[in-house]
Amino acid sequence: GARSRLRRVSLCYDVRRRLGSEKGDDVNCVPPQDLDPLHVLLCQRSFDQGLGLLRVAGLDGVVAVRFAHMCFTFTCGCAPVALLLCWVYHSGPYGRGQKDLESVQLSNQGGPLVPFIALGAAWWISCWLMYLLNKEYKHFCMLRLVYFTGEHLEHAAKLRRDYYQRTVFVQRVPSWIRTHAELRQAFEELFGDKVERAVLCADASALRGAVSAYEERKLDSEALQ
């Protein structure tokens, strides 16, 4: 059906333009005043904070920040175990007189329990990493769905912060869609009443060139002003 086919688009362009903002807000503030970058980086527990970052930085920016946050969390969870292993290996009978990395090798410590300690530490690090990857994967899937449906923009509009007009260009539309009405009906099955207008263009390359020319003229007019 339309749902399964339209999700297989090869290229999706997203053009977002700010139409207005609440009076008293500085629209040139980057990042906006309602988004503290340090707070978002260290305390990303609220879904509203994720929507705020998605609204400002886009999906790529969210992925970069979440990856940095995941690395920081992974380091905090593994640092105590790593320091404990270094102390255990360094305090072994064969670790005295060793220098550099040789002083914290597994071979410096003797006894039958040392391999089990190292194996337990490896299991802890692996399980901690898999937990973080699974958590971030689910979070990314949710934010990706929110991004392409425009829910993060609706959330911002409810808070009266920003107002956006969102236009999405989709290539490789199924061949059975031949009219504007069929295209609109197909997207309404995906996004419901959120679709305001759907226009079918036979020459996508010409449309892309027209949009690029429009953006260039718009930038030139803003520069002249």
Q: Could you report the per-residue pLDDT of 26-43, keeping only the tens digit for each?
A: 434 434 444 444 444 444
Q: What's the pLDDT at 117?
A: 78
Which has the closest alpha carbon to 69: 101, 44, 35, 104? 44
Q: What's the pLDDT at 223?
A: 78
Residues of the chain with pLDDT under 70: 1-52, 55, 90-113, 150-167, 204
User: Token match 């320091």: residue?
Assistant: 83
47-90 helix and 151-158 helix, angle to the nearest 10 degrees: 110
Q: How do the domains of the chain map onto residue ranges?
A: 1-18+164-225, 26-160
| Contact present, 54 and 150 (Cβ < 8 Å) | no
Q: What's the pLDDT at 103?
A: 60
Structure tokens at 185: 């009906």
| Contact present, 161 and 22 (Cβ < 8 Å) | yes
Whole-number Å distance between alpha carbons of 173 and 63? 28
Q: What's the pLDDT at 130?
A: 94
User: Token match 């999405």: residue?
Assistant: 168
What backbone torsions phi and psi does residue 198 show, to the nearest 5 degrees?
-135, 125
| Contact present, 170 and 186 (Cβ < 8 Å) | no
Q: Which residues pair with 187 in a beta bridge?
A: none
- pTM of the complete model: 0.46
